[in-house]
Structure 1
């Protein structure tokens, strides 16, 4: 993609939160990750995807639990990844994953404050 076109794509993403192109088919979105959804961001950048920490950590915890036999070798992962993997094991008892306890521990370790 030519540099001028990249600048145009970036300008559109900064303006609306999203760029959709036809040739080649491409979609670029701003992704905002936070404790809560932000109505001001929704209004100013309607194309942006908003994801809460709860949504992201729920996905991660469930993924680690569901694929635990495939996700055993984590030595090459960074410390936050290893921590989340460890918390998944910590909050699994008798073959049952306790998502609520995982979320409580993960948000505390990551410094995500409640309201």
Structure 2
């Protein structure tokens, strides 16, 4: 957690331990300047995680991506310049919600 927070560079180095501690114990950190929440993504939701942790399944995430691509079709049509991960998400979301594949992650 500390390494990720340091790498983000959003926090002064002296408060990174405080932010990490809050994320570990509460699932979120909030002060006058920052609000940070943990997100958990997986094939299913975990009932043992704190309620403050936002949980999404891969299906929900790809559904969101597909809907975003559909809603903003004109803006997203030219995506050849996207990196391979962006392109893969685009293709997976299209295939999943066109019924072409059954995704099991």
Corresponding residue to 2:20 among 6, 10, 15 = 10
* Corresponding residue for residue 38 of structure 2: 30
TM-score by length of 2: 0.72
SS of the counterpart of 1:36?
coil
RMSD after superposition: 2.3
* Corresponding residue for residue 4 of structure 2: none
Asked if 1:71 corresponds to 2:87, the answer is no
Work out the CA distance in 1 between the residues paired with 2:88 and 2:31. Answer: 39
Q: Please report how far the alpha carbon of residue 40 of structure 1 lies from its aligned counterpart in structure 2 after TM superposition.
A: 0.9
Work out the CA distance in 1 between the residues paired with 2:88 and 2:46. Answer: 28
Work out the CA distance in 2 between the residues paired with 1:83 and 1:5. Answer: 36
Corresponding residue to 2:90 among 85, 89, 92 = 85
Residues matched between the structures, number: 94
User: 4+ residue runs of structure 1 moved beyond 3 angstroms?
Assistant: none
Long gaps (5+) in structure 1: 92-97
TM-score by length of 1: 0.67
Whose radius of gyration is greater, 1 or 2? 1
Long gaps (5+) in structure 2: 1-10
Work out the CA distance in 2 between the residues paired with 1:83 and 1:3. Answer: 35
Q: Please report how far the alpha carbon of residue 100 of structure 1 lies from its aligned counterpart in structure 2 after TM superposition.
A: 5.7
